[in-house]
Amino acid sequence: MALSEQDILAGLAEIVAEETGIDAGDVQLDKSFTDDLDIDSLSMMTIVTLAEEKFDVRIPDEEVKNLVTVGDAVSYIAKAQA
C-alpha cells in the first residue's frame, strides 16, 4: 500500500536526521536540501539510496538533481510508489 505524503515526509526526515544530525523537525517540505539543510552531494546520495530501500522505489541518479527541496523528494517518492 502506498504511503501518504505525510508518512513519506516522516520517513525521509528520519533518514536525514540519522545521516546528518539535522533535527527531524527541521526537515520540512519547503526546505532546500543544499541551501537550507546544508546537505552535501555525498550525503544526498546516501539519503537517496536509503530512501529507495525504505520506500521500495527507484530514484535514478539523473533525477536526484531535480530533487531540490524536501517536498520535491516527497512528491517523487509518492508518485514512484503509485
Partner 1 sequence: MAVVVTGLGATTPLGGDVRSTWEAALAGRSGVRTLENDWAERYGIPVSFAGQIAVSPEEVLKRPEIKRMDPSAQFAIIATREAWADAGSPEVDPERLGTVVSSGIGGVWTLLTAWDTVKERGAERVLPLTVPMLMPNSPTAYVELELGAKAGAHAPVSACASGAEAIGMAFEMIESGRADVVVAGGTEAAIHPLPISAFAAMQALSKRNDDPAGASRPYDTTRDGFVLGEGAGIVVLESEEHARARGAKIYARLTGLGLTSDAHHIAAPDPEGAGQQRAMRIAIERAGLTANDIVHVNAHATSTPAGDMVEARGIRSVMGAHADNVLLSATKSMTGHLLGGAGALESVFTILALHERTAPPTINVNSPDPELQVDLVRDTPRALPASGDLAAINNAFGFGGHNAALLFTTV
| Number of amino acids touching partner 1 (CB under 8 A) | 13
Assess 14 for contact with partner 1 (CB under 8 A).
Answer: no
Give me the phi and psi of 25, to 5 degrees please.
-65, -20
Give dist(CA 32, CA 12) in Å, integer.
Answer: 14
Active-site hit among 35, 38, 40, 56: 40
**DSSP state letter for 69:** B
Assess 56 for contact with partner 1 (CB under 8 A).
Answer: no
Assess 21 for contact with partner 1 (CB under 8 A).
Answer: yes
Return the C-alpha cell found at 32: 532546500
Residues that bind partner 1 (CB under 8 A): 17-21, 42-43, 45-46, 49-50, 52-53
